[in-house]
Amino acid sequence: MKDRQAQLEQNIVAENLAGFYKKIEPYSKLILTVLVIVVVGLIGAGLYSSGEVAKRSDATLQLLMENPEVASQYPDTVAAAWSLLFQGNDSLAQGINSLYQDRDEAETLLSQAKDQFSDARSASDDKLLLSRANFGLGMAAESLGEIDEAIEAYKRAVDANESEQMVAVAQERIDRLSNPDTVEFLAWFSEQDFAPADPSLPPELPGASTLPDLPDLDLPDLNLGDDMKATEEPAAPIEGGLELPETTEPETTEPETTEPETTEPETSEPESTEAETTSVETAEEEAEDAAE
């Protein structure tokens, strides 16, 4: 009896399947095509999903290796947003250090940091990333003297509500920038150039406007008595004091300068002897006697 009932049930199932097959037989090709498309779609979705997972894993690995090209190689990923944030922090640190060396380079680095923080902020909705990007943007704007933009960025960091500590730090920056003394200092600081002077150039002298005024040297009258005033008369010697030896200055003897004697050569004249004069006189006397 049970076997008979089982056969009847199998026949009923077979008849139902045969009737269903007859109904879908005209659409069998279409149904097969749809099934193939669905299978291919599932396989493609699986491959795409595994590729995205591998892409994110590779991007995370490159991010951990501090590769600055992560943002361009893996766009629209969380790792790309964090890479932009890290690049912004690096540019911010270099820009702040350059403020005391090269003002132009510092402004370029700080402007670059602002762009990187803005890109990181718009690349992800992560609360932690938004908070850090807004805080970094506020510090870059504050270093450039852009007070309003810095306060706005700090307010966004507060609104992100990452943690109590981060909210407190951002609120403290807002309070400081709301102080007129801080605003005045930042305005003065933005106009300064702390670049060291070229050692090959002579030092520059300060301008006359920066030199301090001369101090007032007018001294009051001391109102000294007549006895304390200076007199033209020499002071009288003190009696009964110690007799000190007279100070004698040593005589300075100058060495005699000896000039060399110049000897002139003697000019010898011919000597006239007395014998010659007497002979001449006798000859003259004899001539006179002969004439007489």
Domain layout of the chain by residue ranges: 2-64, 71-190
Q: Is the pLDDT of residue 158 over 90?
A: yes
Domain made up of 71-190: CATH architecture: Alpha Horseshoe (1.25)
Which of 2-16, 78-92, 176-190, 238-252 is the least confident region?
238-252
Which of 36-40, 48-52, 145-149, 185-189 is the least confident region?
48-52
What is the Cα–Cα distance from 217 to 215, expressed in whole angstroms? 6
- pLDDT, the chain, mean: 73
Token duo for residue 219? 């001294």
Identify whether the C-beta of residue 70 lies closer than 8 Å to the C-beta of residue 79: yes
CA-atom Rg of the chain in angstroms: 60
What is the Cα–Cα distance from 127 to 118, expressed in whole angstroms? 15
